[in-house]
Structure 1
């Protein structure tokens, strides 16, 4: 959401003063976007809604800590939602710290010609089929740009385990996206008419 500094300041001040109108306006303004953030980390509807509600409670409880000089309001709320979803993941999941680390030098793990034919919903649906721990690490790394060190700190796992989960997510998604017998870097040859 693109709020002007004055609009954000007015909403924040209203929320600090427990103004129900300001709280409702803030909630409605960020509801859809922040619920999507929670669904990105938690595919189970009940867990995603729980993270969303807990996240907004944290937003309202700590709104006086928001500093407009350090960033925009939407980014601050998004960060709270991500950390709340991660906390819930931690409660729901058991991560295996014994998995051996892997090197992940594969920045472009899916060929662009394949991505051009996909919709976000299709990709998200397949991300949600990943094991929960692998899905969480993938989301933190690819969707939200966290480093393996940050992921390890948030999820209480080693950097090597984080790297393994990311590599495994990429492998599984690549398998789903690549037609059988086709190389990731080779476009599929078309038979018949050229389009």
Structure 2
């Protein structure tokens, strides 16, 4: 990041801390593309992704005075808040019960998404139920471990493993198609 960009962000942070609407809009627009893609990973409907993004940014604006350089890069701080907001939204959506399979073994290094193109990944994510989609993203795309996901979503390791198994089952036809071409 250039010095000019860093100074721009620091100025936007000051404006947002002062509750300046124009500053908030500029900051929102600056991070919108990346944060919308993040939320879109979790939600198949654009409206739900936008709602999660807006809720997350509202939390950013309300807590922006708590940010300091010691917390790391500002974008990473915002990204974490928006991601956690999306996860909270997913957690609060009523989901049908899922069975737990505690004896399933899923190696951490087995990432079937590595073989897919970006467009194929998004097509796959769109057909997954919300909870399965969230776990898939956290595990395969964000690199969270099963215990970390369990802590984030407040669910058991067995349930997480079941969701990852579902992802693999649903991905099998996509992977077969990928390797045929």
Question: What do residues 133-185 of structure 1 show as CA deviations (whole Å, max 9, x unaligned)?
Answer: 21110011111122212211221211221122123212321332114xxxx9x
Q: Which structure has greater helix proportion?
A: 2
Partner of 1:50: 51
Q: How does 1:144-159 map to 2 (within 5 A)?
A: 144-159=142-157
Distance 1:145 1:3, change over 3 A: farther
Q: With structure 2 as the length reference, what TM-score do the two structures score?
A: 0.86
Partner of 1:35: 36
Whether the 8 Å CA contact 1:40–1:139 is kept in 2: the answer is yes
Distance 2:43 2:112 in 1: 24
Q: Does 1:131 align with 2:129?
A: yes
Whether the 8 Å CA contact 2:113–2:140 is kept in 1: the answer is no
Please report how far the alpha carbon of residue 62 of structure 1 lies from its aligned counterpart in structure 2 after TM superposition.
0.7
Q: With structure 1 as the length reference, what TM-score do the two structures score?
A: 0.80
Q: CA RMSD in A?
A: 2.4
Partner of 2:7: 6
Distance 1:69 1:97, change over 3 A: same
Whether the 8 Å CA contact 1:14–1:23 is kept in 2: the answer is yes
Question: What do residues 67-120 of structure 1 show as CA deviations (whole Å, max 9, x unaligned)?
Answer: 2222111111111111111111112142646411211026244497xx3xx531
> Larger Rg: 1 or 2?
1
Q: How does 1:97-136 map to 2 (within 5 A)?
A: 98-101=99-102, 102-105=104-107, 107-110=109-112, 115=115, 118-136=116-134
For these two proteins, the number of residue pairs brought into alignment is 178
